[in-house]
Structure 1
Amino acid sequence: MIAGAGAAGATILAGCTSTDNDGGTTSEGLSGAIEISGSSTVFPLAEAVAEQFMKDHPQVDISVKSTGTGGGFENHFSRGRSQFNNASRQITDAEEDMCADNGIEPLELRVATDALTVVVNNEAEWIDCITVEELRQVWSADGPDTWQEINSDWPDETIERYGPADTSGTFDYFREEILGEEYNHSSDYQPTEQDNLIVQGVQGSEFAVGYFGFSYYYNNPDSVKALAIDGGDGCVDPSVETAKSGEYTPLSRPLFTYAAKGALAEEHVAEFARFYVEQSGNQELVADRVGYVPNTEAAVDEQLAALETAIEDAG
């Protein structure tokens, strides 16, 4: 499962002759193509939403690409090559400038909340929880080479690091929340936009560590071990519940999709945007299936109101 969910490049979800749960086609004449780029963290949610939308509208073809948040903005969305860009952090000023240079106006839509997860090998019985300061040392440039240099109770073995590439919103969020302005992110690690490769790397060594969105751990809990995080009030495991309650700090974070406002003039794009926002509050899909915290009813209503205004302006 994880290899499919985290694959870089593209997972093409082609519209076909699907029917709804009652056995009747519900396309209602909608047709067209939609390109979605961006975050590997948001990828499984976007994929699930797109699959359901195409069951209801089989004449709409949706392609969901896992390019990383920054890679999606720079190479796809800002160039008009995708109508949506998923993001595990908010758009930057530089990315907004790139969009403006090409006549693209992004609309921010929050679609879920994530518990960014730090993982180690299942055989690493010597560690179950890590403090923010220890985590900072693990991932700081020019930081310690061995685990024991960080904590004397840990083994005198070289730290093997696997993580997202610097085009990833997860990389950006982790750097900001854990490393802050005083420290640079280590370059001594294996970077990738494929979360399944992070898992494979961590599985390969008792002394490996990695991090990615909670969904990949949630759907493969026996593949690696998730570490509890001590943000100052004791160890807290990553979960839908702790991210929702606010206990899991500082690694719980909002997830977004950005819609190109101009593209919302097309009916099939506008309808998909509505559906995406509506599904962001779907407990069964967002939490039970994907592993993120769904939006509250009030948040869904707020996002829909902003979206309807943008659709009206685009038309």
Structure 2
Amino acid sequence: MILTIAAAMNNPVNARPIVTIDGSSTVYPITEAVAEDFQIAKKGGIRVTVGVSGTGGGFKKFCRAEVDIVNASRPIQHSEMEACRAAGVQYVEMPIAFDALTVAVNPSNTWSRTMTVAELKKIWEPSAQGKITKWNQINPAWPDKRIKLFGAGADSGTFDYFTEAIVGKAKSSRGDFTASEDDNVLVQGIATDKYSLGFFGFAYYIENQKKVNVVAVDNGKGGIIPSAETVENGSYRPLSRPIFVYVNAKAADKPEVSEFVNFYMKNAPALVKEVKYFPLPAEVYQLNLKYLDERKVGTAFGGESKMDLTIDELLKLERRL
């Protein structure tokens, strides 16, 4: 029997297997790099799609079993654990890198190259809305000019982590700022306004160093700039954090998903570094694959982010899972 071209294209036998991924814009550069290399290695035999709807948006799809994998810039939360449980979705948690959540200003800003956690809190806490609007309200030596704020959107894990680390409670923030789940939008906003301030993942700062300047964060021991050294030695606090992928345990039974995750963990150290995040010890990637093989489901975080976590502390947590 001879199939027409249209019939052949619609024939499931001829369809390429697809691995579906969504979630964090922070994790996106890593997963996208892995997806590109994987598809080349498979000579186009498996397709990988990577969406960007924020960590929260990604978990909504993941817990409805609409995607195989979710990129997450924070651990799964209690409400998401319950949504997955209700839908019968089990997951394998996989830390893949450390990020240094970066506070950035316009290159013309010469006054706030270092900011304390207290100053950042004064700007971002809910009570600041409509009241703290100018730089000199934070520090009298700073300009009498309106601050233009840019930050991650409410569906972003970066928003959750930043507000918990700086303000003291996740999602506790003023609302009068320009928000986006796309970090590139935040970079462009800061780059075009002299009096702007914002935050996003470290990789987006590194890729845009000519457009924005980094702020050294002072947590009581002097200003610390995010770098491989300050993340690894634990001095860049409280804005260092692990980032993750979560794999649907049932989806991992599909050969294409299993192959992709194995490729991810084996190539993560090099690709994480390539896109300017910080790789984890080899043991973490090995544990990820061991847990996948054993279908060891659940989370080491109990539904909460853990502030000030070091890479060594993350490893201890994962060993106990």
TM-score, length-scaled by structure 2: 0.84
1:308/1:31 CA distance change after superposition, 3 Å = farther
Quick check: which has more Rg, 1 or 2? 2
1:48 aligns with 2:33: yes
The one-letter amino acid of 1:215's match is A
The one-letter amino acid of 1:237's match is I
Deviation at 1:197, TM superposition (A): 1.0
- 5+ residue gaps, structure 2: 1-14, 298-321
1:60/1:182 CA distance change after superposition, 3 Å = closer
1:258 aligns with 2:246: yes
1:83 aligns with 2:68: yes
The one-letter amino acid of 2:59's match is F
CA distance in structure 1 between the partners assigned to 2:80 and 2:174 by the alignment: 24
Q: Which residue of 1 aligns with 2:107?
A: 122
CA distance in structure 1 between the partners assigned to 2:65 and 2:294 by the alignment: 21
Q: Which contiguous aligned blocks of 4+ residues in structure 1 show a shift greater than 6 angstroms? A: none
SS in 2 for 1:97: helix
CA distance in structure 2 between the partners assigned to 1:308 and 1:181 by the alignment: 36
Task: State the percentage of identical aligned residues.
Answer: 39
Any residues of structure 2 matched to 1:218-257 within 5 Å, and which?
218-257=206-245
Q: Which residue of 2 aligns with 1:141?
A: 126
CA distance in structure 2 between the partners assigned to 1:311 and 1:242 by the alignment: 32
Q: Which residue of 2 aligns with 1:67?
A: 53
Aligned residues: 279
Q: Deviations over 1:195-217 (max 9, x none)?
A: 11111111121111110000101
Q: Which residue of 1 aligns with 2:143?
A: 155
The one-letter amino acid of 1:186's match is R
Deviation at 1:281, TM superposition (A): 2.4
Deviation at 1:279, TM superposition (A): 2.2
- Find the partner of 1:198 among 181, 186, 205: 186
CA distance in structure 2 between the partners assigned to 1:296 and 1:184 by the alignment: 33
CA distance in structure 2 between the partners assigned to 1:129 and 1:254 by the alignment: 24
The one-letter amino acid of 2:235's match is E
- Find the partner of 1:39 among 24, 33, 53: 24
Q: Which residue of 2 aligns with 1:7?
A: none
TM-score, length-scaled by structure 1: 0.85
- Find the partner of 2:175 among 181, 187, 201: 187
- 5+ residue gaps, structure 1: 1-29
Deviation at 1:181, TM superposition (A): 3.5
CA distance in structure 2 between the partners assigned to 1:307 and 1:234 by the alignment: 42
CA distance in structure 2 between the partners assigned to 1:281 and 1:182 by the alignment: 30
CA distance in structure 2 between the partners assigned to 1:61 and 1:46 by the alignment: 13
What RMSD, in angstroms, separates the aligned Cα atoms of the two structures?
1.8
Of the structure 1 ranges 90-99 and 234-243, higher mean CA displacement relative to structure 2 is found in 234-243
Is the Cα–Cα contact under 8 Å of residues 164 and 170 in structure 2 kept in the other structure? Answer: no
Is the Cα–Cα contact under 8 Å of residues 141 and 183 in structure 1 kept in the other structure? Answer: no
